[in-house]
Structures are given as structure tokens and as C-alpha cells.
Structure 1
């Protein structure tokens, strides 16, 4: 009788709608397979779609801390290298223009297309990680990234270089697309602040280091060597990635079920159901949330503008520091250290905020014994500070990048911009995840990722012309006014977030 009930239950699970399966995803109790009654000694129940117990050693959250740190640093290093790759190319554009006989605008295309690869790559890598596991995606993407990077160094035409750079961006995108999911697999919510802060910093730090490395490399060896130096970075990341273990729950349980001779229920999903699932989670729902959810729309717009400015500066700063201060390629690369220092300071500030304020507030609420929780809006405090830092830094840069002002003044302004940008982004990520929960929060961040890297690819195409037409002071002032117009966004959500949460069809009612 038990066998018939189990079969009926499995059949119902396999025919469930895509949306029900999404929401039920990995919860326990759907298809538990009891131990055979023919055995004499009773043993604990073996589960197919849940852990065997809270101390299950296969659960990544039960790994030793050293193992978790290793599996945090590897995705962080991959994200770092893949964003270094975006800007390491830019200092060698002059050599490339001479080699291929192209204009300054055309020489930007390999940079732009790489960033577009980072924008659209997650639409492929994120669903694949849900099907095949995180490890398989890392170990497929990084070798392809290395191969396309190697080919970029040998490209004999601008067309070939553009194609290879776009494919490199797509192949390198898993470091950005599934890194945070990998960390969430391992670290419990109360433990995530520090590892997530470190991980989120790397995509901001990478573009700042790229021009530094690329500047001296291009100056000494030419633009092709910027690709080959990047290849060394890629191999250095791939080696530790080979020793990674799977962290994704469904992939681990699927493999374990096969080893035990049991049938994992999600394997019964038809190809049509899988296609609908991926289409809904990666395209349909993010677009719908952008259209219907003011929180998603405005934060996506705000972060995309900030990212567009950041990536636009990698095209504009060489013009500024060469025109005003007469810097050569290597010296221009050094000016980007201001962004790097700002990222590190921002990361430290975020960690201190969570350790000294946010986590004690959570603990205090728990000790009160009234089920009190900290509202998601508390996360926005660092974004509110960052929203002031951004326009201040842009006005600062605008009117200190002049002959009679030391070059350290605009470089310091870069650092303030980078610090504020990181604080806004980190607060927005955590706020959206708290506001919408893991399922819908991931869709909100999917829309965010696509928008920010798309704008990061587009703005560099015309920012230099804007600086030439308006002048350095007024061009940066214009960006400062755009940033100033966006400043109220985190403040508004801090005050009106609870009301918006109560009206949203996607939000968790209590936000916790």
C-alpha cells in the first residue's frame, strides 16, 4: 500500500506546474523513501529531495569553515579576473588603432562587446547552474574564457577580436552570475555579511586593477600582451577551481539519489517544462518585476546609471589625465588605484556596519523573545550614505581636474565615488533579497545585472565625445546632477518600503 501511495505522489510531483515547482523547489517532505521493511535493524529514513538530517555532511552549510572560505575565495577570484578582463584592454587601444587602422570609436568595440558578454552570459550560465550544478558551470566557463582570451591575443582583424572578446565575456560571466548563489549555498544568513561583502567587492576592484596592469603591459609589450597576461590570471583561477566541490543542494541530492539507486523527482521534468522554467525565471519575471515593482525598477535604474558611469570612466580618465596632466599610458593606469582604494574602504565599512550594528540589532531582537525582526529597510542605511558620496565625488572631480590643481585631488574623488558606488550596490542586493525572498530576489537581481552591464557597455561609446564637447568640468558636472537626481531613491524606500511591501504581489509580507 505504501509503495502505491509513493508512486502516486511521485507522479503528481512530476506533473506539477512550473511555478509550483519553483516555489516548492527544494523543500523537504515531498518524496521520502522509507527504508525497506525486510531489513531487521531500523535505520533513519533516507530522503531523496532533502538532507538526511540537520548534520548531513553533504550539506555545504555543514562544511568546515576552512572549506567554506576556500569555496568563497575561488568564485571571488573568478569574478575579479573576469572584471579585470573588461578594462585591461583599454590602455592598449592606441597600439590597436595603429595595427588595424581603425578609429578611436571602433577601437572601443572589443571593450564594449566584452561587457555585453558579461550582461547576457548569465542568461545562459545561471539556468545551467540550476540544472547541472555550480561546479560544472565554473569548470566549463573558465577553460572557454582562457581559450577565447588566448585567441584574442592572436586576432588578426578587429572583427575577429570583437567576436572573441564577446565570447570571452559570455564564458567569464559565471563568476558574476552564480558566485552569490554559491556563497548562499554554504553560508547561513547570519554568517553571510563578511563573505558576501568580500565577494561583491571583487567585480568593483577588478576594473580598477585592469588599467594598471594593462597600462604597463601595453607600454612595454603592446596590446596583444594584455590578453596573454590576462590568460595567466585565468589559469591561476582555473587551477583551484578544479578542486571545488558541488555546493548546490539539488545537484548534490540528484547525484546522491543516483548513487543510492533512487529516482530524484525533478528529473521527471519534461523538456518543455524546463524551457518554460528557464524562460520565466530569466526573462519573463525580471521584465515583469521591472514594469510592476517600483523597488526593482528604481534600484535597477540607479545601479545601472552608477555602473555606466564607472565603466565610462575607463574610457574618459585616459583622456582627462593625458589632456590635463600629460600622463603616459603607464601613469594613467596608476590613477585607477583611487578606485581600487575606494572599493577596499567601502568593503571594510560595509563589514563594520554589519558586525557592529546590524548583527547586534538582529541578536537583540531575537533575545527580546517577541519574535521581533530587523526590517529590510535597515540595510539601506549604507546606501543612504553612499547616495550622498556619489554626487559629491563627481562635483569634486569636475572642478579639481585642472592644470593648477595636483593630480591627487581628482584621484581622491575617484576613491570617494568607488566607495559610495559599492555601498549602494551592496545595500541594494541585500535589500532586494530581504524584500522579495530568495526566489523573487534572484529575478530582481537578474534584471539588475542585465541593465547595469548593458549601460556599462553603452556609456563608454560616447563619453569621450561628451568630455571633448562640454569640457572636463561641465561633462562631469552633468554626471553629478544625474547622480544627485537619483539620491532620494534609497531614502524614499527607507521611509515607504513597508507600505510598498504590503502592496507587492512578489514581496514577503514581513520582509524577513
Structure 2
């Protein structure tokens, strides 16, 4: 609870009684019900969307830095796989599994963690996942057998996956739609570097020290971020904040008639039933909601391409260009730069389009619809495949490394421009259950990130970089254009039919 002095200064809020002014518990008069506890309008200092900008950026930055470390760990051991495989006498399949099983865990983790954050709040789930990830990532560094390494990688990935479920939920909690692009862009700025920086750091560590420092160093960083999160991160989930307010009012007054909308909706359910319904929500969304299915397919395909690139990029430079492992890792900068540029360009574009569309809708006495996010997808859907064509054929012809890196930069930029508006669309279409919706879409993303690198080496061996990337680009063009167009035409109708109780 914070800012009670500020709240007391705001007009239009109802107090329980004058002798409790310091506590300032606000009761909604909406609908003439004096017992409904809700955020005061137009301002309530406890409403995360009304927080000071500095506090909003604090929780955003904590998630961003935490996301950077967790995503970096997914790829950091890639350059050292051959060394680890030799030490533990692993075959090629076991070595690939040690790397990719982390991603498999991030497919299943959000299905549990996302719903838990909608029952118990974002804060305890974040702290618990931080500690869980720290423990198992540290175990990776001390692993003395391939079985321990693979098992601890899976368990570390399960804890790391919390960021995929929590991040967009928290961003939806604290930022308003007109700030969606900027908040997503700033949040993604650091994590996007993680997947590409991981192999760079891993390459230098593999060449200059023991591979175990990959896990020890990231565990040290995680320990620091865990301590920071305990001080800088505040609960953002509005139903939980309101429930705490209602509990306080009931204690203060001894009157049990005070309630929140969320409590009313679950009044007939036991805590066990509420938890059970929450835990199956992401699977229900994935199984029955076409919007989630389409956005999951698009996001999953692009994420799979990203991990094809991340898992094979080093081999391109060491085998076809004869570069050292350390130098080959530096080319991942092009991947990171493309994603960062894409996120910043798209963030600005999204907010400008939103402001323009909202003004147009206001003039027409309309309201903003989530589907208005979709036009921003099309430029990325065209740019991404173009970059893959350039990357594939310049690598096939062994042209200068700068041309190849330019191609992959364009591809990563395009995929980022495609992904961000789709993320914003899901956040606004499922505003009440953002974490569960994002957990559902993350399932497909992590699954393709796990599976695509398994066939990528064989694909390039048979088709070469030119035709291999051309085939991926054509499929990406198909998904990137037809999927958003389908949602643009039928999205509102599909949202209206999404009558399954979430």
C-alpha cells in the first residue's frame, strides 16, 4: 500500500468513515452499490495504471533484466557443446538435448506459472521462480554427469519460463494501451540481446576458461537480480490489490458485505476450484480459441526460425568461412541488432498508429478495438522473408561476411516488427487473463524453438543455405500475411464467440 497521502487528496472517492482517513480505503459508488470495492476514478494511487512513471519503469526494468539473464542461459552453452560432450562422453543427440531441453521446459512452465500469477499475484510467483531458477542453474555448473546436466537444465528452464508468463501480464497491468508500444519496446530492449549475447559470451568462455563459468557467472547475476526484485518489484495484479483492500475494509468495519468484482465472480467456487480452473485456462485457450491458435502459429514459426539461426550460425562461420569459435560468436551481434532495431522502430510505430486510430475513432464516436493493432504487422511480414532470402543466398555463395550479417539483421528486424503488434493484440483481446493467454502462445513458441534446431542441420545439408532459407521464407510469408488478415476480418466476431468461461 503506498501513496495514501496522495490518495486522500484526490476527490471523488468514498471513505468508510471520517475517522479512518489515513487508511483511505475507497469504495465504488458505481451502480449505486456502496459495498463494491473498486479503484477510484479518474485517479487511484493504488491502481498500477496510475502509479508514478518511475515505479512503472522500475517493475518493467526488473523484468527486463531478469528476462535477459534467463534467455541468455538458453543459448550460452551452444559454443561449448562439443567440449561438454567430450567431457561427459555424450553422443550428438545427447549434446543437442542438453542445449534444447531448457527450451522444452519453457513450453510447459508458463502453462502453470501464468495461471498461478492470476490467483496468487505476480510478486510471489516472480520471487519463487527467481530462487528456483538460481538453484538449478547453479547445479548445472557443478554437474558431474550428463544425466545431472540435462535434468538440471530442464528444471532451470522451468523456473526461467516464468518470465514469458509474467512479463506481458505485468506490462498489461501497469501500462495503458496508448503506451503499449513504448513499454514493449523498452522491456524487450535487454532480453532481445540475451539470446544473441549468450553465444558470444559462451564462445569466449569456452576458449579461455572452463564451460562451468557459463553457469556460475549467470547464477551470480541471477542472485543479484533476485535481491533487486525483492526491493524494486511491487504487486501489479489489480484483482489481488483490490482483494487486499476489501479485506482491510472488512477488518476495519467488521462488515462482511464489502466485496470486489473478482470475488463476486468466484463467490460460489472453493479456492481449489478457482485454482483448478485457472490451471486449465491456457490449455483451453489454446484448444478452443482461434485467435490464440493463429497468433501461436505465427509466433511459434518465427521463434523456431530464430533458434534455427542461433543454433547453426556459428557453424556457418567456422565451417564455410574458416573462422575461430570466438570470432564466429561475434556475428550474433547482427541478430541482436536486428531484433533491437525492430523492437524500437515497431514500438514507436505502434503508439503513433494507436494515437491516430483513436483520434479517428473518437471523431466517429467509436472505441479502440484490438484488431487495430494488426496493420503494423504487415511491414514486418514482408521484411522478414526478404532478409531470409538475402541471408540464405549470400551464405550459399560465400559472399563477404558483412552482406550475410546484413541479411540476418533484416530478417530479425522483420520478425520483431511482426511479433510485437501480435503480442499487443493478444494482451488487449484477453485483457483479464493476459498471463494465461501469453502462456498459451508461449507453448507453441518454445516447442518450435526446441524442435526446429533438431532438423535444421539436415535441412541445410540437403538444401543448402540458399534453398533452405528460401523455403522457410516462403512459409513465413504465408503465415505472416494470411494469419493477420484472417484475424483482421474475423477477429471481432471470434472474440465475441469466445464464450467459454475463462
TM value normalised by structure 1: 0.83
Specify whether residues 377 and 249 from structure 1 end up closer, same or farther in structure 2 by C-alpha distance, changes over 3 A only: closer
The question of whether the paired residues in 2 share the 8 Å contact of 1:384 and 1:490 is answered with: no
Q: Once the 2 structures are TM-superposed, how far is the Cα of residue 163 of structure 1 from its aligned partner?
A: 0.9
Q: Does 1:486 align with 2:479?
A: yes
Q: Which stretches in structure 1 are left out of the alignment for 5+ residues?
A: 1-31
Q: Per-residue displacement from partner, 1:407-426 (whole Å, max 9, x unpaired)?
A: 11111111111111111111
Greater shift in the superposed pair: 462-471 or 414-423: 462-471
Match of 1:450 in 2: 443
> 1:238-317 maps to which residues of 2 (within 5 A)?
238-243=226-231, 244-262=233-251, 266=263, 269-289=269-289, 293=290, 295-317=291-313
Aligned equivalent of 1:428: 422
Q: Does 1:466 align with 2:459?
A: yes
Q: 1:276 to 1:142 in 2, by over 3 A?
A: closer
**What runs of 5+ residues in structure 2 fail to find an aligned partner?**
1-12, 28-34
- Partner of residue 497, structure 1: 488
What secondary structure, in the 3-state scheme, does the structure 1 residue paired with 2:235 have? coil
* Partner residue, 1:395: 389
- Cross-structure match for 1:120: 108
In 1, Cα distance between equivalents of 2:333 and 2:280: 41
What RMSD, in angstroms, separates the aligned Cα atoms of the two structures? 2.8
CA drift of 1:72 comes to 1.0
The 1:440/1:140 distance shift into structure 2, 3 A limit, reads closer
Report the Cα distance in structure 1 between the residues aligned to 2:356 and 2:388, rounded to whole angstroms.
Answer: 34
Distance 1:348 1:66 in 2: 20
Question: Does the CA contact (< 8 Å) of 2:296 and 2:444 recur in 1?
Answer: yes
Which whole-Å CA distance do the structure 2 matches of 1:150 and 1:479 have between them? 37
Contact 1:385–1:420 at 8 Å: present in 2 too?
A: yes
Pair 1:431–1:406, CA change in 2 (3 A): same
Distance in structure 2 (CA, Å) of the matches to 1:287 and 1:50: 33
CA shift for structure 1 position 170: 1.1
- Note closer, same or farther for the CA distance 1:444–1:506 as it changes in structure 2 (3 Å cut): farther
Change (3 A) 1:428 1:155: same
Alpha-carbon shift at residue 69 of structure 1 (Å)? 1.0
Paired positions, count: 466
Q: Output the CA distance in 2 between the equivalents of 1:118 and 1:172.
A: 7
Normalised by the size of structure 2, how large is the TM-score? 0.85
What's the offset of the Cα at 1:287? 1.2
Query: Where in structure 2 are the equivalents of 1:14-413 lying within 5 Å?
Result: 35=16, 46=27, 49-51=37-39, 54-243=42-231, 244-262=233-251, 266=263, 269-289=269-289, 293=290, 295-366=291-362, 368=363, 370-402=364-396, 404-413=398-407
Mark the CA change 1:501 to 1:60 in structure 2 (over 3 Å): closer, same or farther: closer
